[in-house]
Amino acid sequence: MKQSRVRWALVQWLFVLSAVSYLDRVNISIAGGAIADSYHLSNVQLGKVFGAMLLGYALFQTLGGRLADRFGARRVLTFGVMWWGVFTALTALVPAGMRGALLVFIGVRFLLGAGEAVIYPSANQFVANWIPLGERGIANGWIFAGVGAGAGLTPPLVTYILIHYGWRTSFFICALIGFIAGLIWFLIARDSPADHPQVSPSELALIQSGLTITTDRPKFPSFVPWGRVFRSKEVWAITVSYFCYGYVAWIFFSWFYLYLAKVRGLDLRSSAKYSMLPFLAMLVGCLVGGVINDQLTKWHSLRLGRCGVAAFALLLAGVFIAFGSQVESARLASVILAGGAGALYLSQSSFWSVTADISGASSGSVSGLMNTGNQIGAAITAILTPWIATRFGWTTSFLVATVLCVIAAASWLIVDPKKTLVRQAADPARSAATFQRHEIATD
């Protein structure tokens, strides 16, 4: 019987859901100018609206991860997609001229962020149950390539709808896309490969041979105690690194479009076109980083594949961002800064692969904790970046991001991906054997 590839079909749909989640996040930054004009909001006030979504997203990361661990990625992620579709639509229903509109926007976007908090912890819980160690880099690369795809397609899509039908219509269309994508996920996904009717025996055997945890989900799974999580230097190091990462990444998601239009002087259409570049670079960076991650892990070690790739990529991102912020040509600066975004996302799969590697059945919870750090950084940049730019100039804002890239890279020097939180997890010798078995099985 021919080996099925259901795990990759589900990874591809997680790519779609990842893209939809960023469509619903980034749309407000593209429509931000129109919203600010309609409701008489300043850039600082608009930054508070951006930051509200990220704050809700950050606060519910760990809870979202624990729910995924307890109830499975299929149901939790479906509920989350439907939730954020509702609040995307509600964003467009705030009446024009309404008193207190700023507070309503902040509340709606906060609740949107709370719903979106389940996406990546749930995806990582899926990876821990479905993806062998030797494939986790590229699997996470595909999932987070959805970030670049969703954020990259958002500027031209929302700009077109905004020009022809108004910004509110763009939000309704984004919500509809989310509802459809979430329904399809519920129909095709299962929490365990053993429960999926289309998984062949050979694919099931391959998956189970390469996991650090069993694919059988007990009614009450054995979670890693929080005390052990909080005592782990690996967890703290990757959380600090991901905090810095989130700060840098969200300069592109929150402010890059407006930076090109209002600081660099590009017109609306040119801003939409050039603001796509960082997100397309992110897409490529995720996929390339995932492949390099897995290959170096197989050829040399987990530490080089996971930690070495991340540290190098983050340093490279800092170099690109520092240089790009000081280039005079707006178009050349866009290309160089896009290179920084792409380099940043070369490291993306390392964060999520390591948390899946070390935390087993608690991968949703631990990755949710890590992603809390990311989103706190993102929320800070949404609010702090325009303040720094107003006081000290936009070049300074980007140089702050460069410093954080260096700190993020240095944090990976502390991480040992072989130090698992799950005491019954496989030892390094067994992990190496797993990679060899996987390589033989897929030849």
CA within 13 Å, CB half, 290: 21
List pLDDT tens digits, range 58-105: 888 888 888 888 888 999 999 999 998 999 999 889 887 778 888 999
CA 138 from chain center: how many Å? 14
> pLDDT by residue (tens digit) across 5-56?
899 999 999 999 999 998 888 788 788 878 888 888 887 788 788 878 878 8
Cβ-proximal residues to 119 (8 Å cutoff; 6+ apart), any chain: 17, 18, 21, 77, 80, 81
**Is the model's pLDDT at 436 over the cut of 50?**
no
Q: What is the pLDDT of residue 211?
A: 75
Q: At a CB cut-off of 8 Å and minimum separation 6, what does 346 contact?
A: 285, 286, 288, 289, 292, 309, 312, 313, 316, 317
> 91-105, 197-211, 221-235, 413-427: which has the minimum mean pLDDT?
413-427
Closest CA to 352 of 169, 140, 148: 140
What tens digit of pLDDT does each residue of 116-170 get?
Answer: 989 988 998 898 889 888 888 888 889 988 887 887 788 788 888 888 898 899 9
The correct CATH number of 6-212+224-442 out of 1.10.3720.10, 3.40.50.1000, 1.20.1250.20, 3.40.630.30 is 1.20.1250.20
Question: Is the distance from CB of 59 to CB of 387 less than 8 angstroms?
Answer: no
Q: How confident is the model at residue 438 (pLDDT cuts 50, 70, 90)?
A: very low
Largest Cα–Cα distance of the chain, in whole Å? 66
For residues 420 and 430, the answer to whether their CB atoms sit within 8 Å is: no
Q: What is the mean pLDDT of residues 415-438?
A: 56
pLDDT in tens, 276-325: 788 889 889 988 998 898 889 888 887 888 899 999 999 999 999 999 88
Long-range contacts of 99-108 (CB under 8 A, 24+ apart): 101/39, 102/39, 102/41, 102/45, 102/48, 102/49, 105/35, 105/39, 105/49, 105/52, 106/48, 106/49, 106/52, 107/52
Burial class for 308, CB neighbours closer than 10 Å (0-12, 13-18, 19+): buried
> How far from 268 is each of 61, 126, 158, 336, 413, CA to CA, in Å?
35, 40, 12, 20, 43
Q: 188-202, 232-246, 270-284 — which is least confidently predicted?
A: 270-284
- Residue 162 contacts residue 170 (beta carbons within 8 Å): yes
